[in-house]
């Protein structure tokens, strides 16, 4: 990942980030430490879609493995209430 000092953004403006975004996300360094990540809108959308897909896959695996408990919200609340009394 490309890095850029926050001072450089102050000096050159957002154009300093724009130039580097063509190479991918940019770490913004502040006080000698990575503080922010700037990415293009397309990269952001792809990242969100990948994360959502991964959650769906994990949920399907949980369902297949029997780790999903089906029931009503009232049943879940009753079970949670009971677990508080057991602990």
Same domain, 27 and 10: yes
pLDDT averaged over every residue in the chain:
90
CATH of the domain at 35: 3.40.1620
Same domain, 14 and 48: no
pLDDT value, residue 81 = 81
Same domain, 49 and 35: no
Q: Write the pLDDT tens digit of every residue in 11-50.
A: 999 999 998 999 999 999 999 999 999 999 999 999 999 9
> Which residue reads 């190479």 in tokens?
23
87: pLDDT strictly greater than 60:
no
Same domain, 22 and 33: yes
Question: Residue 1 — pLDDT band, cuts 50, 70, 90?
Answer: confident
Alpha helices in the chain (DSSP H): 6-12, 15-21, 41-64, 73-86
Q: Residue 72 sits in which domain range?
A: 42-86
How far apart, in whole angstroms, are the C-alpha atoms of residue 70 and residue 62? 12
């Amino acid at each position: 990942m490309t890095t850029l000092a926050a001072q450089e953004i102050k000096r050159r403006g957002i154009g300093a980030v724009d130039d580097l975004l063509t190479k991918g996300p940019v770490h913004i360094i502040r006080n000698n430490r990575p503080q922010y990540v700037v990415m293009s809108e397309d990269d952001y959308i792809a990242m969100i879609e990948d994360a959502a897909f991964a959650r769906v896959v994990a949920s399907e695996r949980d369902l297949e493995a029997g780790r999903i408990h089906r029931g009503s919200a009232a049943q879940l609340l009753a079970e949670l209430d009971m677990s508080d009394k057991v602990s």
